[in-house]
A and B are shown apart, each in its own frame.
Chain A
Amino acid sequence: MQRSLLRYSAWISLVFLAVSCFSPRITVTGEQPASYDKTLQPGLPEKIIYKATVTLRGQELTGRLMLKKTDDDRYRVAWYSEMGMTYLEGTMDISSEKKTFIIQNIIPALDKKMFLRKFEKSVRQVYNDS
């Protein structure tokens, strides 16, 4: 009964199930920007989309990491899955070494201090290296 609906909808649920089963032990890695829009200021891109993978106890959670510059030189940050699920959103001062990540929205399974600390550090490092 209703299999045709479920064929599609269940795929979405896979992402949530995967996330819900992870522990907060993590490492974060980033790769080359998937897109790169230059701004008038050389070296300060308006928007970057990275391919990002988070590894939690050997299990990988993949997605896209978008950084978008705001008017006050901070960046809005969003990490979301290929299938459209937003893992987290927030704002960050990329140029500062201090903790500046302000979370706007995050799924409960990732709302851990240790994860967020490493995530912020990794985003800053990947950004500075690219």
Chain B
Amino acid sequence: MKPIKIYILIVLLPIISFSQPAVDVPVKDPGNLIAQIAYFSRNTTSITAGFIQVKEMSFMEETVTSSGRFYFQKDDKVRWEYTEPFSYAIIVSGDRIRIIDEGKQKDFDAGSGRMFREVSRVMTGMVDGTLLTDGRFAVSWLEAPDYYRAELVPVSGAMKDYLSGIGLKLNKTDHSVDELKMVEKSGDYTIITFNNKKFNATIPPEVFGLD
């Protein structure tokens, strides 16, 4: 081998080595990790965050990007709001649900029909942490130097017909969700990346106001 080729190889080898993507490995002690997440949850009364949503559509050969704000207030208040490129928000407060679509709002009562009873059940499961324990998902835990990753595979219920899985990347410092990946049956996926997260900050009541 000529000296110049050896030189290039020496220079590039470390770069090539370090540029390899990190390989996720199974979490050695999932029970301990789950306990840490539970501790984080117990000590979190509110979350505010921005998010960027990127949807990959292979058939359409398109990538659709949107963004907005996410609010959570214990025990049962959530606001998921898109601000770009359209205005759309879902607000849940207890048994009541409001959808605001381009300024037009519609209210729903969870007791008014089967659909909203199901929605209410999911919301309750979300807040009290029973959603994963009701048998709908098989969960596996992986980790890389910068994050933990939970792979949720639906095993029963309606979601099994629509989703191949949900991937969640968790911050190793505070155990909050940095990224959510939703994989559809077709193989298309949507990635939601959260940013500017704030915990336990006071959220104005009007954010969840349904009156």
List chain A positions with a Cβ less than 8 A from chain B: 1-14, 16-22, 34-35, 51, 59-60, 62, 64, 66, 68, 76, 78, 80, 82-86, 89, 104-105, 107-109
Contact = CB atoms under 8 A, between A and B. Distances in A.
B180 A7 contact: no
Contact of A11 (B61, B78, B118, B158): B78
16 contacts: A1-B41, A2-B34, A2-B37, A3-B38, A5-B132, A5-B150, A9-B166, A12-B182, A34-B85, A66-B60, A80-B64, A84-B55, A84-B190, A105-B185, A107-B161, A108-B161
A1 B128 CA distance: 8
Q: Give the dominant DSSP class at A's interface.
A: mixed
Given A8-B177, A105-B186, A68 B60 contact: yes
Interface of B: 34, 37-38, 40-41, 44, 47, 53, 55, 57, 59-62, 64, 66, 70, 72, 78, 80, 82, 85-86, 88, 90, 99, 101-102, 106, 113-115, 118-119, 122-123, 125-129, 131-133, 150, 152, 158-159, 161-163, 166, 168, 170, 175-177, 180, 182, 184-186, 188, 190, 192, 194
A58 B66 CA distance: 28
A84 B126 contact: no
Contacts of A8: 70, 168, 177, 180, 192, 194
A93 to B, nearest CB: 17
Contact of B163 (A7, A10, A16, A76): A16
Given A9-B152, A10-B123, A18-B119, A51 B86 contact: yes
